[in-house]
Structure 1
Amino acid sequence: MSEQAPDDQRPPIAAAVITRDGAVLLVRRRVKEGSLSWQFPAGEVEVGETPEKAAAREASEETGIQVANGKSLGERVHPNTGRTMIYVAFDSVEGQASVVDDDELDSFAWVRHSELTSYVPYPFFAPVQEHLDTALRG
């Protein structure tokens, strides 16, 4: 069994911030990451992949939807997980979301702005919150 690389040597995580019709897509993982339960579709950026492509791939693999026109919202080291996170906004969405990766996901929800704190009770990364404030209140 190999040792896991320290967080600063592990690939960054690309998160897909997907909005449609006044709601944002959140997924609930079967295994919590720290205190995280509901979060954006996300996964590691693979070798040779841009964060935008990684976030789009993860959205497809986890929920079956296709996204386009990704725009980076910024990156940070996540305060709960210690992982480098890159947030990518998408507003072009095709297909209907479902739980495709049922080994990893338990559920998904399209969440309106007024419901966000019911799903994610801690503050979002400021650029993500600003994007959601604009996109969901549209």
Structure 2
Amino acid sequence: MTQQNADERPGVAAAIVVHEGRVLMVRRRVSEGRLSWQFPAGEVESGEGREDAAVRETHEETGLIVKAVKVLGERVHPATGRLMSYTACQVIGGNAHVADTDELAELAWVAHAEIPQYVPYGLFEPVQQHLDAALDR
């Protein structure tokens, strides 16, 4: 077994992609509870590392080619109950667009001051600390 029991759903890997002073956020077609805007993310596949899953999901959802820089942390998400892993990623190619139209409604490059408008309930503290340091204010 990996990080979870067999009866639990796989963990979810999120990519924190900062580029030109903004962070990439996506809006899902179907909200998960009050989660509407979030980071590119998806389930970690069997045998896949969490960093690899974050990179793969970012490409599948947005068309961006990114590389994992470092894992920022993980937690059980308070709204979904899912094990979440957050990985800081760097853009190495491509142009961001809604590549997975079944899952995403839109995407946005969000400035530091705009984050509370997209995520009014706040971010996981290690992610917030990373964005505080990485984004133009």
Superposition TM-score tier, normalisation by shorter sequence: over 0.9
Contact preservation (8 Å) 1:22, 1:136: yes
Contact preservation (8 Å) 1:11, 1:44: yes
Pairwise mapping of residues 1-138 of structure 1 onto structure 2 (< 5 A)?
9-137=8-136
Secondary structure of the structure 1 residue equivalent to 2:110: strand
Query: Once the 2 structures are TM-superposed, how far is the Cα of residue 95 of structure 1 from its aligned partner?
Result: 1.3
CA distance 1:8–1:22, change in 2 (3 Å): farther
- 2:7 and 2:127 mapped to 1: Cα distance? 22
Contact preservation (8 Å) 2:14, 2:86: yes
CA distance 1:86–1:7, change in 2 (3 Å): farther
- 1:8 and 1:41 mapped to 2: Cα distance? 25
Query: Once the 2 structures are TM-superposed, how far is the Cα of residue 8 of structure 1 from its aligned partner?
Result: 7.1
Contact preservation (8 Å) 1:7, 1:82: no
Following superposition, which runs of at least 4 residues in structure 1 exceed 3 angstroms of deviation?
none
Q: Percent of pairs identical after alignment?
A: 59
**TM-score, length basis structure 2:** 0.92
Which one-letter code corresponds to 1:48 in the other structure? G
Any gaps of 5 or more consecutive residues in structure 1? 1-5
Contact preservation (8 Å) 1:8, 1:83: no
Contact preservation (8 Å) 1:66, 1:93: yes
Is 104-113 or 69-78 further displaced after alignment? 69-78
Any gaps of 5 or more consecutive residues in structure 2? none
What is the alpha-carbon root mean square deviation over aligned residues?
A: 1.6
CA distance 1:28–1:7, change in 2 (3 Å): farther
Secondary structure of the structure 2 residue equivalent to 1:97: coil
- 1:61 and 1:133 mapped to 2: Cα distance? 27
Contact preservation (8 Å) 2:41, 2:58: yes
- 1:7 and 1:27 mapped to 2: Cα distance? 30
Report the count of equivalent residues: 133
